[in-house]
A = this chain, B = another copy of it.
Amino acid sequence: MSRIDGRTPEQLRPVTIERGWSKHAEGSVLVSFGDTKVFCTASVTEGVPRWRKGSGEGWVTAEYAMLPRATNTRGDRESVKGKIGGRTHEISRLIGRSLRAVIDYKALGENTIVLDCDVLQADGGTRTAAITGAYVALADAVTWAQGRKLVRPGRRPLTGTVSAVSVGIVDGVPLLDLCYEEDVRAETDMNVVCTGDGRFVEVQGTAEAEPFAREELNALLDLAVTGCADLAALQHTALEATLEK
């Protein structure tokens, strides 16, 4: 059985990672997972939030948002509504936690890196694309900080790589990297964040229709681990290219 867009169940959508998409940010990436496009910037500032001052340790945080017409029908801006919605909060926190998992705060020193992930176009998997792209922007920002001697020589603030992918069960079949249409029809939906060496940073599985069994969970985790490995390879290739800016 082939999928809506002709993929096999264990196949990612076409993924592109364009670095240097902003002239201002210390790291910036336009990442796309099929028709999902997320613009990720990494902004470095010296200093840390007040509660961390004097600790000698840095901080990494993230903010996620969707442009109002990123989706099929226009959504109201959260700035106009005057408050951040629950979904935005949840995803921003997930991205921040995921990237902090590969940061050595001591090595970063008292510097802060903010990752902004703005969805320009959504077609499912925006949070996983955001994490995958944000890692690359973060890597470029860390390199920039090292070049500026903000980080002490010989220290490596990044302890590994991180990528993320969604998996789900649609009509009883476990699928990798769901597009929007598949996501809507999924009985179970899971977002998995892995390090480049195949360990888990975050596993979030939700029964959308029916509670799921242990075997289904296992099948989804298998699929996700493979997908994250593919994404890690794509991140590696993207970061190997020379960034002219």
Supposing A84-B80, A92-B86, A116-B69 touch, asked if A199 and B221 sit within 8 A by C-beta, the answer is no
Contact assessment for B39 and A120 in the assembled complex, using a CB-CB cutoff below 8 Å: yes
Interface string of A187-221 (1 = CB under 8 A from B): 00010001101011111111100111110010001
Contact assessment for A24 and B70 in the assembled complex, using a CB-CB cutoff below 8 Å: yes
Total count of chain A residues near the partner, CB < 8 A: 67
How many copies the complex holds: the figure is: 6
Question: Which residues of chain B come closer than 8 Å to A25, judged between CB atoms?
Answer: 69
Alpha-carbon distance between A214 and B212 when the two chains are bound, in angstroms = 18
Nearest-neighbour CB distance to chain B for A53, whole angstroms, equals: 18
Alpha-carbon distance between A229 and B102 when the two chains are bound, in angstroms = 35
A interface residues with partner B (beta carbon < 8 Å): 22-25, 28, 35, 39, 41, 43, 45, 63, 65, 67-74, 77-90, 92-93, 97, 101, 114, 116, 118, 120-123, 160, 190, 194-195, 197, 199-207, 210-214, 217, 221, 225
A200 CB contact (under 8 Å) in B93, B160, B214: B214
Chain A binding surface, main DSSP class: mixed
Query: Chain B: which residue is nearest A213 at the CB level?
Result: B199
Contact assessment for A200 and B213 in the assembled complex, using a CB-CB cutoff below 8 Å: yes
Supposing A65-B79, A89-B90 touch, asked if A204 and B203 sit within 8 A by C-beta, the answer is yes
Alpha-carbon distance between A110 and B205 when the two chains are bound, in angstroms = 29
